[in-house]
């Protein structure tokens, strides 16, 4: 059996609150996970079109503030958000075996991107 040395990525998107008034604050949260055995250290971009479109956004990665034009781009006209290459990195997943059951446990490498703005 050959083992592929590669990342295996997934993204889960959520928003809060579920109901927001006009001119209210909304947060999109993107949970990016790597279940593969190789880290992602470059060339990763994450993009999405936000609907509703946000204005005056603040973006964080794992709680650290990102800078528009350096770490990401955002178009308030279309709602297109894109991280720039190398702004987001992900460690490889960690694999372990439960000694009692023999079950393989996968703990993915992860990053949380939060985009907060006004609707």
Count CB neighbours of 80 within 10 A: 14
CA 11 to chain centre: 6
- CA angle at 16 for the pair 118 and 29, rounded to the nearest 5°: 90
Count CB neighbours of 45 within 10 A: 13
Where residue 2 falls among pLDDT bands split at 50, 70, 90? confident
Instruction: Give the pLDDT score at 63.
Output: 97
Instruction: Give the pLDDT score at 3.
Output: 81
Kindly report the pTM of this predicted structure. 0.90
> CA–CA separation, 96 vs 41, rounded Å?
23
The model's pLDDT over 29-46, given as tens digits with 9 standing for 90+, comes to 999 999 999 999 988 999
The model's pLDDT over 60-98, given as tens digits with 9 standing for 90+, comes to 999 999 999 999 999 999 999 999 998 999 999 999 999
CA distances from 13 to 6, 93, 113 (A): 23, 20, 10
Where residue 9 falls among pLDDT bands split at 50, 70, 90? very high
Instruction: Give the pLDDT score at 1.
Output: 78
Joined tokens for residue 43: 């060339």
């Amino acid at each position: 059996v050959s083992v592929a040395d590669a990342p295996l990525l997934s993204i889960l998107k959520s928003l809060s609150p579920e109901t927001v008034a006009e001119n209210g604050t909304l947060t999109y949260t993107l949970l990016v996970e790597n279940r593969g055995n190789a880290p992602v250290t470059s060339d990763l971009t994450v993009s999405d079109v936000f609907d509703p479109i946000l204005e005056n956004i603040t973006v964080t990665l794992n709680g650290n503030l990102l800078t528009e034009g350096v770490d990401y781009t955002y178009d308030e006209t279309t709602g297109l958000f894109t991280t720039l290459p190398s702004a987001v990195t992900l460690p490889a997943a960690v694999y372990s075996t439960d000694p009692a059951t023999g079950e393989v446990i996968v703990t993915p490498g992860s990053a949380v991107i939060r985009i907060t703005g006004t609707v």
